[in-house]
A and B are shown apart, each in its own frame.
Chain A
Amino acid sequence: MRRHFTIATGLVMLTACVLGYRGLAAVAGEHDLAGIDEIRIDLPDTPMTVTGCSAGTEACPEVLSYRGAWQSTGGTGRDAERNATAPRLRFSTDGAFAALVAVVPLEVVGQVDLVMDEISVPDDRDLDLRTGVGDVQVVGVVASVVIDVEVGDVSVFGADAGLGVHTGRGDLQIETPGAADVETGRGSVDVTQTGEGRDLRVHADAGSVVVRLASDANLELTIDTPDTIRIQTDAITTVTSGHFERRTGSGNVRVELSSNGGDVEVVLAR
């Protein structure tokens, strides 16, 4: 009896693990963007850093280029290597629209993970970036930028033609001269308007909002939060909570800020 239980206990202690190997395969690509106005990059969970180069200059070829790696698991070392090379990134076009997506064979779904390094594009191409879990950083793109992330911080410096950002969970740090519509499910938002005053909508389900406006002239400002509202600009100074509305000048620049749980602060960018 005692021997049986010793065996049983030993087996229990041994349980609950998987033995195997890990693999890694580099991935790189360069795709012609002649005639392409908009690029969608739709990748599985991975951080993304997209850098725009000055279009039309010699240093900035008209291509989408990227580097990264596929990480994998396998029951044997050889299988791990094979699994890492099984997926690929597919670039396809339709008129002026191009898309870069990951094609992962069903047999390795769940056994591979993509980690992208830098992605480079000419700065005049509109961008649509999508991923699951991964921080996204966009720098130097003057065209419009749309970002949709499930979990991850997002930072954008540029997006002169307009910006749309959604992340389910993560902090947002934005510096843009363009109109912007940004929201996060859980995280703080920090927006700085550069250049002229533009329409701005910011929402945080749970997190604070800090906005640095380019100007407080001709403003139609609406703020909602159960926590503190603090505004300190040339034309408006207040500390309150709940709902706040103020119109200055012609009111043709609409700024809507809201948080379901977090302070909202508005100041002027200097």
Chain B
Amino acid sequence: MACSLALAPPAASPREPGPAAAASSAGTVRLGPEAQGRVVVEQDGTAVAEVALRPGETSALSLPAGHYELVAAEGGQRTSFDVVAGREVQPDLPSSLRAESPAAAETSAPEPSAVHPPDVAVVSTTRTFDDEEPDGGDGLRVTRRRQWRRWGAPVLSAVVPGLGQAVNSQPGRAIAIFTGTVSLALASAALWTAADPTDGATRGEPGRSDAAEVVRLGGLSAFTGAAGMLYLAQIMDAHAVAANKQVRPAKGYAVSLEAMRASTVGFSPGEPAYDLYTDYSVAVMGQIVRRLSVGVSDASIKRGPRRGLVVQAGLRVSYRFFDRGRVWLGAGGGVLMQGTTANGSPKPIAASADAPADDRRFSLVPYAHFETRIFVLDRWSLGLVPRLSVPLFERRYRGAQSTPRYATTFELGLATGVYF
């Protein structure tokens, strides 16, 4: 269970005072009665309670002494207040929560008297409308957040997809995530093993049909990408739920770090006639003015042909033309620069022959891209980045894979980014 419901009895049935009440380090916070809506109480950015308020009701929370903030569940203005042990405080509520016609209320909430663990918030409420019966706290919900779940849930999700959601009391989502991740992984493995390593070994044998091979490679790219994105998303989701975070994308970020996998199904000489070209890279982007970011992108080092090395990096400009809620859309372009070094051609067998010098190549690949990003946490996004490029020289992927110059290339990038 990621949260628990702690409903105090109505005023008509006050709590029995606990013997250890005097020793409590908790203070009392009263919310209402001139408010309506859902309010979240946060401490150090972590939600410790969520309360549904109704006009005319007063809710009392027993909270450990400390500094807290109040914010409407939908976001917006925040107000802060301090809780002092053994004292009662009635903080100002955010203006968006104030009821238009507050009922004149005569509130007499019971004193919270039981001793509670420091991470437990307890609410009590009193109906103030004479024509309503106390209903045992209907409309009130206090969420108890255990601190360990903020990080424990994502760690568990990292170990077993969906496990973090299970401890967050989301069994349906947990099952869906686990099933989805396993299915995608199995589908990827099936497509991977469907490759015929002897393809092209026999002269004149066409091997798998072009269409079947393209479908296999495309499916492999799609399933592995989807599995990776789902895996990352459910880890972030586990943390967001455990911390009861309202996702507010960090639009004002200064620097972002991004890891991306770009892949495409391309033609190759001989048999098999197609291959999957995949490139992993990182980018560091800075937002120089609102919505416009520039930075170093496509940075990676990989194994090259003939036991060589490929080093690449680039410059990228990106403009965010749409950002609403969790979704950002943007477009931009850049240029990827790539240097390749490899052992020279085979040495002639004569003992007197000189060893050939290492080969070196340089390449430029200009590109344009579109980006769709969805924020799973305030500072973490997952994105799809389709890209169109035309290499001015041959472009190297891993090993001996390369696409020739002027070969128009459509790639699909899957990216995860963190924003500071």
- The residues of B that contact A135 with a CB separation of less than 8 Å are 201-203
Chain B residues contacting A15 (CB-CB under 8 Å) are 264, 386-387, 410-412
Q: Is B281 an interface residue (CB 8 A)?
A: no
User: Could you list 17 examples of A-B contacts with CB < 8 Å?
Assistant: A7-B370, A8-B370, A8-B386, A15-B264, A16-B410, A20-B403, A22-B267, A40-B349, A42-B346, A98-B349, A109-B306, A113-B200, A113-B268, A114-B270, A133-B197, A134-B200, A170-B198
Note all chain A residues with C-beta closer than 8 A to B268: 73, 110, 113
Structural contact, B401 and A93, CB atoms closer than 8 A: no
The CA of A79 and the CA of B406, in the complex, are separated in Å by 9
Identity of the chain A residue whose Cβ is nearest the Cβ of B263 in the assembled complex = A16
Chain A nearest CB from B260 CB (Å) reads 13
B401/A110 in contact, CB under 8 A: yes
Partner of A153, one of B197, B201, B305, B353: B201
Asked whether any CB of chain A lies closer than 8 Å to the CB of B166, the reply is: no
Q: Can you name 13 extra interface pairs (CB under 8 A) apart from A22-B267, A110-B399, A151-B198?
A: A8-B329, A8-B370, A14-B386, A20-B266, A73-B407, A75-B408, A92-B350, A107-B394, A111-B394, A113-B200, A133-B199, A135-B203, A152-B198
Q: How far is the CB of A108 from chain B (nearest CB, A)?
A: 7
Q: Assess whether B404 is in contact with A94, with CB atoms less than 8 Å apart.
A: no
Residue numbers in B under 8 Å from A80 (CB-CB): 404
Out of B277, B360, B406, name the residue touching A75 (CB < 8 Å). B406
Residue pair B218, A16 in contact (C-beta under 8 Å):
yes
What are the residues of chain A within 8 A of B269 when measuring CB–CB?
A: 22, 71-73, 111-113
Q: Is the CB of A133 within 8 A of B346?
A: no
Q: How far is the CB of A36 from chain B (nearest CB, A)?
A: 12
Q: State how many angstroms separate the Cβ of A160 from the closest Cβ of chain B.
A: 26
Interface membership of A1, Cβ < 8 A: yes
Q: How far is the CA of A113 from the CA of B409 in the complex (A)?
A: 21
Q: Kindly state whether residue B342 has any CB partner on chain A within 8 Å.
A: yes
* Cβ-Cβ contact count across A and B, 8 Å cutoff: 178
- Please determine whether A18 and B407 come into contact, CB atoms closer than 8 angstroms: yes
Q: Answer whether residue A17 sits at the interface, using C-beta atoms and an 8 A cutoff.
A: yes
In the complex, how many residues of chain B place their beta carbon closer than 8 angstroms to a beta carbon of chain A?
A: 61
**CB-based contact B350/A94 at 8 Å:** yes
With the chains together, A8 CA to B263 CA distance in Å?
Answer: 17
Given A11-B386, A92-B349, A151-B198, the answer on whether A20 and B407 have CB atoms closer than 8 Å is yes
Asked if B402 is at the interface of the complex by the 8 Å CB criterion, the answer is yes
Asked if A197 is at the interface (CB within 8 A of a chain B CB), the reply is no
Nearest CB in chain B: distance from A90 CB, A = 7
List residues of chain B with CB under 8 Å of any chain A CB. 197-203, 218, 221, 263-271, 277, 305-306, 308, 322, 324, 329, 340, 342, 345-346, 348-351, 353, 359-361, 370, 372, 384, 386-387, 390-391, 393-394, 396, 399-412
User: Measured between alpha carbons, how far is A97 from B353 in the docked complex, in Å?
Assistant: 15
Chain A residues contacting B384 (CB-CB under 8 Å) are: 8, 12
Query: Once the chains bind, are B406 and A16 in contact (CB under 8 Å)?
Result: no
Within 8 Å CB of A16, what residues of B? 218, 221, 263-265, 410-412
Q: Which 5 A/B pairs are nearest by Cβ-Cβ distance?
A: A75-B406, A113-B270, A18-B266, A110-B402, A113-B269
* Binary per-residue interface labels of chain A (73-84) against chain B in the complex, 1 for a CB within 8 Å, 0 otherwise: 111100110010
A22 nearest CB across to chain B (Å): 7
Q: Is B401's CB under 8 angstroms from A17's CB?
A: no
Output the nearest chain A residue to B390 by Cβ-Cβ distance. Answer: A75
Residues in A with CB closer than 8 Å to B372 are 8
Knowing A1-B324, A16-B263, A90-B348, the reply to whether A76 touches B406 (Cβ < 8 A) is: yes
Contact mask for chain A residues 228-263; partner B; CB cutoff 8 A; 1 contact, 0 none? 000000000000000000000000000000000000
CB A143 to nearest CB in B, in angstroms, measures 19
Q: Which residues of A contact B342 (CB under 8 A)?
A: 106, 109
Chain B's closest residue to A20 (CB) is: B407
Q: Which residues of B contact A97 (CB under 8 A)?
A: 349
The answer to whether residues A19 and B407 also contact, given A106-B361, A110-B305 and a CB cut-off of 8 A, is yes
Q: Which residues of chain B are within 8 angstroms of A103 by Cβ–Cβ distance?
A: 345-346
- Expressed in whole angstroms, the Cα–Cα distance for A244 and B345 within the complex equals 48
**Chain B residues positioned under 8 Å from A108 (CB to CB):** 394, 404
Cβ-neighbour of A18 out of B277, B322, B351 (below 8 A): B277
Note all chain A residues with C-beta closer than 8 A to B399.
110
Residue of B nearest to A136 (CB): B201
Complex: A122 Cα to B346 Cα, angstroms: 25
| Closest residue on chain A to residue B345 by CB atoms | A103
